[in-house]
Amino acid sequence: MTPSDARSNGFTREQSHRHASALTRGLLESGVLDTLVAADDPGARLVTEKERLASLHETLAIRPRGDVWVFGYGSLVWNPAIDAVERRIARVDGWHRSFCLSITTLRATADRPGVMLSLDRGGSCHGAAYRLAPDAVEHELRLLWRREMVVPGYVPRWVQIADANGDPIGAAIAFTTDSTHPQYAGSLEDACIACRLATAAGSLGSAADYLRRTCEGLQAAGISDPELSRLVDVVRKIQQDHDLPVLL
């Protein structure tokens, strides 16, 4: 969808938030997130609870020794919704933050597709790492899987994380991209990504709000991401130039 299409289809601020639900711990524990996002795109393929549990158990079956950490690079930075006993700023090498997952749910619909952040191959990424209490690992990860494994395209994997000095912290679970999946959007042009972020909205709110909150969350954590900051400016300009509600 182009900005002009969004305007001609009556895209309004009220529509973008009309059915928006906050992604809270309570929402994850209730198990109704799937029902909410199914309304965004009734034809979308959603990951089932059975598939999620199988994926979680496969991941835990190859769990390295030591504490379990979760590495967040997007909304987990500013809205973790899981209980942790420690939070640290961390870096993972071999992966970078990228809007490379195409979505039609969550913060998008079938009519207004969006993009979501994931970790794509190459480079490095700074984010927030959360250490889970040993006796709460499986429960907290069940909630995390309900949050992240809603639509296909993410691959949970163990990555090694380090602190600001480069000293090892340990092994962390990170949700990365499957570049062979049909929803992989790593080849989308920057202009298309910006357009989707400017116009998409779904059951959890607008894509522009997700971008803004992530950028602000990273800045509050002392993490610089010039590309995300640039995207915020580009998306705001698209919304202003095409007389769309500025959702940033």
The CATH number of whichever domain residue 237 belongs to comes to 3.10.490.10
Structure tokens at 175: 């949700």
Is the residue at 246 inside a domain? Answer: no
Return the pLDDT at 2: 57
Compute mean pLDDT per 10 residues along the chain, 248 residues long, and list them: 49 45 91 91 94 98 98 98 98 98 96 97 98 98 97 96 96 97 95 96 95 98 97 95 72
Number of domains present in the structure of the chain: 1
Return the pLDDT at 243: 82
Return the pLDDT at 28: 95
Return the pLDDT at 3: 60
Return the pLDDT at 244: 76
As a whole number of angstroms, the distance between CA 105 and CA 116 comes to: 10
Instruction: Name residues whose C-beta falls within 8 Å of residue 187's C-beta, 6 or more positions apart in sequence.
Output: none
Is the residue at 100 inside a domain? Answer: yes
Output the furthest CA–CA distance in the chain (Å, rounded).
55
List own/partner pairs for 20-23 with CB under 8 A and 24 or more apart. Answer: 20/201, 20/203, 20/204, 20/205, 20/206, 21/203, 21/204, 22/204, 23/75, 23/79, 23/81, 23/147, 23/204
The kind and range of the H/E element at 33 are helix 33-38
Is the residue at 247 inside a domain? Answer: no
29 is catalytic: no
Question: What is this structure's pTM?
Answer: 0.91
131 has which bridge partners? 69, 86
Per the rule left: phi > 0, alpha: psi between -120 and 50, beta: everything else, 170 is left
Measured from the Cβ of residue 196, the count of other Cβ atoms closer than 10 Å reads 25
Is the residue at 248 inside a domain? Answer: no
As a whole number of angstroms, the distance between CA 31 and CA 42 comes to: 18
Instruction: Name residues whose C-beta falls within 8 Å of residue 135's C-beta, 6 or more positions apart in sequence.
Output: none
Taking alpha carbons only, the member of 55, 64, 84, 83 closest to residue 161 is: 64
Is the residue at 68 inside a domain? Answer: yes
* 49, 58, 148, 189: the active-site residue: 148
Q: Which domain holds residue 83?
A: 3-241
